[in-house]
Structure 1
C-alpha cells in the first residue's frame, strides 16, 4: 500500500530541496497573522504531509511562544531544523521572511513616492480607521486568551496606566511583568498557568516522519560545544555588521542607529508583533523621527496585507527612514530605503534563528516548565494593556488628524465602527476588512473631491 495514503506507514523521507520549495511556497501564502500561519503549517505539515506529529508540533510551538520573536517564523525554523539540521532551519526561517521583505520594499516605495496622488490618498484614508479597529481586535484576542483571573487583569491595567499616564518605556514594563510572573510562578502558580494548553486537543493523523516515538536525532541532542559555537556565531553575525556600519558611517548614522535599535526591539517581541509595536512607535516616531505617526499607521496597514510575520512592518519603517534620510544622495533614495529595510530585517530576525538553533536541543530534551511559562503569561497580560494604549494613540491621530482643537472627523469614526463591526461581530478576516475599508475610503475621497 502506498505509504503516502496509509496512515500506519510514515511518508517517504523528504529531501532538503523538497522542503526548500515547500518553505518558499509557505512564505508566499502565509497571510492571516500568526494564528493563520500556525494553522496553515499545522494543516500542511501535520495533517496533509505528516512530516511531524501533532505532539511534536505543539511541543515546538509551546517553546516558540515562550521566546521573544515571531512565533510562526520560529516554528518554521524549528521544524526545518528538526528535519534537515542547521541549513534546514535557516532555509525555512529565511524563506518565511524574504518574500514579505521584497513585497514590502516595493509597496513602501509606491507609498512614499506616489502616496500624494488622489488614488493612493483615498485608499489610505479608508485603511487608517481600519487599523484602529484591527489593533483593538488584537488586544481583545490576546486578552480573551490570557486574562483568565484578577491577577492577570491587574497586570494588564497596571501596564496600561504605566505607559499611558506615566510614559514608562516599554522595556521596563516587560521586565517588571516578567519579575511578577516569575514570583507568581513560585508563590502563586495557579494564577500564572497558561489556560487551556495546547495538549488538550491532541489528535493523531497517522505515522509521521518525525513522530512521538521517533528516536532523538543526533543533531537534536544537546551538546555544550555546539551550543557555544552557535551562540558565538550569532554574536559575530550581529557584531560584525554593527562594527562595519560604525566604521563606515559612524555611530550617529541612521543605519547604525537602526541596527542598534532593532536589535533591542527583537528581544522585546514577547506576545507577537503587536506587543513590540508600541516600542517601535516610541523609538522610530517619537525619539528618532524616522517617520511620522501617520506613516507608521499606514505601514501597519501594509504589513497586514502582505504574507509573512506582521513584525515585517519594521522593514517598512527602515525603508521610509532610509528613503527620507537619502544618505546616498537625492538620486539614490530608493536604494537607500532598500538598504535600510534589509539592515532592519537582519537585526530583527537574527536573534530568532539563534534562539532556535542554539536552544532547540534543550527544548527537545525538556517538558513544559511553569518557571518558564509563568513570566510569559505575565508579560502577555501586560502586553494587552500596552496594545490598548497603542489603539488609543492611533485613534487620536485618525479622529483628530490635525491635532486638538480642530474638528472631529466623524467620517473616520464611522469607518472605525464599520471595521470593528466586521471584525468583532461578522468575524471577517483582516485582509477583507482592509480591502473593504480601502475601497470605501477611495469612494468617499472621490465624492469629497
Structure 2
C-alpha cells in the first residue's frame, strides 16, 4: 500500500481535491450523464475512485450500501454521500445540487415548451413515438431489476407478485406496503430478538422529513409539497419505483394531470440526463408553473438528502446488520413488483395501435440484444418515427 493512501475503511484528513473540483465534476455528470442510475454511479466510480483517486474504494462502497438501504434515487444519493466524505454537510449539499440541477433546468425548459407548443402536431407526434418506446425501456428495466433483486427466494417472489398485482389492480402504489414488506422479511429472517435489540432500524424509520409547507403560497403548492415529500420518502431501489406512486397521486387522487400528460412526463425523464426522478420537476411545472416545479423537486429530493446525511456517520456501525439487510430485501422486492405492475398500467395508455405496439416491442428487443445500447439513442429514434408516422395516422 502506498504511504499516501489512507487505510481501508478510513477517510483521508487531507483530501487531494477541492470542494469546487468535486462540484464541477458532479455538474458535468449531471449534464451529460445518460444511461440511468447504474450507469451514473459507474461514472462516479470511474472518475472519482479509479481515475482521480479522490475517493477511496471503501468510502465509495459505503455510499453505495447506504443508497441501497435508504429510500431515495440511487445516483443522487451516492453523489450526496461522496460529497459528504471529505466536506461533510456543505460538500453533500453542493454535490447533490450540482448533480441534480442540470437535469432540473432541462425539464423546466421542456415543460415550458410542452405547455407553449403542446397543442402543435409536432409535439404530439414526438411523444406519440417516445411514449411507446418508454414502455419498452421500463419493461426491460423491470426485467433486469427482477433478475438482480429477487433471486430464488420464495418470500421475495410472493411479495414481488403481490405488489405487481396490487399496482395493476389499483393503478397506483400503496406506499405502506413497501414498509410492511420490509418488516415481514425482517421478522421472517430475524424475528423477536432483533426486534427487541432494535439494531438501529427504528432509528432509520424515524428519520425526520422536513415539511415544505412554509414554502408554499397557495393550497395547490401546499398539496404539491406534501405529496412529493411523501413520494420522495418511498423511492426504494431505483428512480423508476416512483412512477406508479406518482401515477396514483398525480392522475387519480389529485387529478393534476391527464394519463397522457403523465406518460409524457416519464418520457421527458428518459430523454434528459441525470436522475429519472427529475420527472417530478416537469410534473410540478405542468401543475403550477416554475413554483410548482421547484416545490415538487425540493419535496422529492429533500428526503433523499436527509436519508443520506443523517445516517452517514453511522453507516459503518449499522449498515451490515442482518436486520437491516433483511428489511432492504423486502422493500426492494416490493419496489420491483410495483415497477413491473406499472409497466402494464402505463402500457394501457401508450400502446394504442400497431405502430406503438411495434415501437415498444422493438425497443425491448434492442435493449435485450444490445446490452450497452443507450436509452437516449432509442428515444431520439422513436421521436423521429413519431414525427413521421403520427401525421399520417391523424390527418
- The verdict on a shared fold, with TM-score over 0.5 as the criterion, is yes
Residues 383 and 54 of structure 1, relative CA distance in 2, 3 Å threshold: same
1:183 corresponds to: 187
Preserved contact between residue 34 and residue 309 of structure 1 (Cα < 8 Å): yes
2:304 corresponds to: 352
CA RMSD of aligned residues (A): 2.3
1:131-146 correspondence to structure 2 within 5 Å: 131-146=134-149
Q: Is 1:287 aligned to 2:253, yes or no?
A: yes
Preserved contact between residue 132 and residue 394 of structure 1 (Cα < 8 Å): yes
Q: Is 1:389 aligned to 2:355, yes or no?
A: no
Question: How many Å separate the matches in 2 of 1:167 and 1:399?
Answer: 16
Preserved contact between residue 274 and residue 387 of structure 1 (Cα < 8 Å): yes
Residues 75 and 295 of structure 1, relative CA distance in 2, 3 Å threshold: same
Query: Which blocks of at least 5 consecutive residues in structure 2 are unaligned?
Result: 6-13, 192-202
Residues 391 and 183 of structure 1, relative CA distance in 2, 3 Å threshold: same
Q: Secondary structure at the match of 2:105?
A: helix
Deviation at 1:429, TM superposition (A): 1.9
Q: Is 1:89 aligned to 2:100, yes or no?
A: no
Preserved contact between residue 30 and residue 37 of structure 1 (Cα < 8 Å): yes
2:382 to 411, 431, 437: 437
1:298 corresponds to: 264
Q: Is 1:380 aligned to 2:332, yes or no?
A: yes
1:320-335 correspondence to structure 2 within 5 Å: 320-322=286-288
Question: How many Å separate the matches in 2 of 1:289 and 1:75?
Answer: 33
Residues 169 and 32 of structure 1, relative CA distance in 2, 3 Å threshold: closer
2:214 to 229, 239, 243: 243
Preserved contact between residue 23 and residue 91 of structure 1 (Cα < 8 Å): no
Q: Is 1:152 aligned to 2:156, yes or no?
A: yes
Question: How far does the alpha carbon of each residue in 1:200-257 deviate from its partner, in whole angstroms, 9 at most, with x for none?
Answer: xxxxxxxxxxxxxxxxxxxxxxxxxxx9xxx99x76xx34x41353xx43xxx21010
Residues 50 and 159 of structure 1, relative CA distance in 2, 3 Å threshold: same
Preserved contact between residue 69 and residue 269 of structure 1 (Cα < 8 Å): yes
Judge which range, 287-296 or 52-61, deviates more. Answer: 52-61
1:111-130 correspondence to structure 2 within 5 Å: 111-130=114-133
1:423 corresponds to: 367
1:205 corresponds to: none
Q: Is 1:277 aligned to 2:248, yes or no?
A: no
Question: How many Å separate the matches in 2 of 1:180 and 1:300?
Answer: 31
Q: Secondary structure at the match of 1:271?
A: coil
The count of residues paired between Structure 1 and Structure 2 equals: 372
Deviation at 1:30, TM superposition (A): 2.1
Question: How many Å separate the matches in 2 of 1:366 and 1:176?
Answer: 21
Deviation at 1:169, TM superposition (A): 4.7
Question: How far does the alpha carbon of each residue in 1:150-175 deviate from its partner, in whole angstroms, 9 at most, with x for none?
Answer: 22212111112233336675213212
1:78 to 72, 81, 86: 81
Question: How many Å separate the matches in 1 of 2:343 and 2:356?
Answer: 14
Q: Is 1:39 aligned to 2:42, yes or no?
A: yes
TM-score (norm: length of structure 2): 0.88
Preserved contact between residue 108 and residue 319 of structure 1 (Cα < 8 Å): yes
Question: How many Å separate the matches in 1 of 2:359 and 2:172?
Answer: 31
Question: How many Å separate the matches in 1 of 2:279 and 2:302?
Answer: 16
Preserved contact between residue 185 and residue 375 of structure 1 (Cα < 8 Å): no
Q: Is 1:310 aligned to 2:276, yes or no?
A: yes
2:350 corresponds to: 398
2:294 corresponds to: 342
Residues 429 and 7 of structure 1, relative CA distance in 2, 3 Å threshold: farther
2:194 corresponds to: none
Q: Secondary structure at the match of 2:310?
A: helix
Q: Which has the greater radius of gyration?
A: 1
Preserved contact between residue 423 and residue 433 of structure 1 (Cα < 8 Å): no
Return structure 1 stretches of 4+ with deviation > 6 angstroms. none
Residues 259 and 369 of structure 1, relative CA distance in 2, 3 Å threshold: same
Deviation at 1:356, TM superposition (A): 2.1
Question: How many Å separate the matches in 2 of 1:339 and 1:76?
Answer: 25
